[in-house]
Amino acid sequence: MSKSTTQALTPKADLDTHLARLRSIAREAMEAAYCPYSNLAVGAALLCGNGTIYRGCNVENASFGLTVCAERNAVFCAVAAGHLDFLAIAVVTSSADISRPCGACRQVIAEFSPKNAPITIISEAVGGDYVVETISQLLPDSFSLL
């Protein structure tokens, strides 16, 4: 359910110029969500350091533990394609309220976030309200073996 989108982005450039595009791609990804149990569609757009953007959507399963969140879907697809340098991720939900990534997604995002330049997370509700935070703000003192 993820697909890569290569954009003409300048890596490490002012992230503000990329926020609107990431939010738009995350909204598109949300349309592909498979969520017959929760009815909460989630889309994600992950910006890699080279400007590539990977999309992800949540995919639910009747065995709930097998469900995959949009954020992890996007990260895993990027890693499978050889990318490990991430700048930002936008997450959009079909909820009227802003929903931030779950704990599992926060831990996965933190794994790829350098301490000196934490990954930016944009969390957006269906109505367009959003917040911009870093993974360090959402998961301070994250667990790491590296």
DSSP string of 41-102?
-EEEEEEETTSEEEEEE-B--SSGGG-B-HHHHHHHHHHHTT---EEEEEEEESSSS--PPP
**Does residue 60 have an active-site annotation?**
no
Q: What letter represents residue 9's amino acid?
A: L
The contacts of residue 3 (CB under 8 Å, 6+ apart) are 54, 55, 77
β 86-93/120-124 pair status: parallel
User: In whole angstroms, what is the distance from residue 46 CA to residue 77 CA?
Assistant: 10
* Spatial separation of the C-alpha atoms in residues 16 and 101, rounded to whole Å: 20
Q: Measure CA 141 to chain center.
A: 20
Q: Determine which one of 71, 111, 124, 133 is catalytic.
A: 71
* Catalytic sites, residue numbers: 71
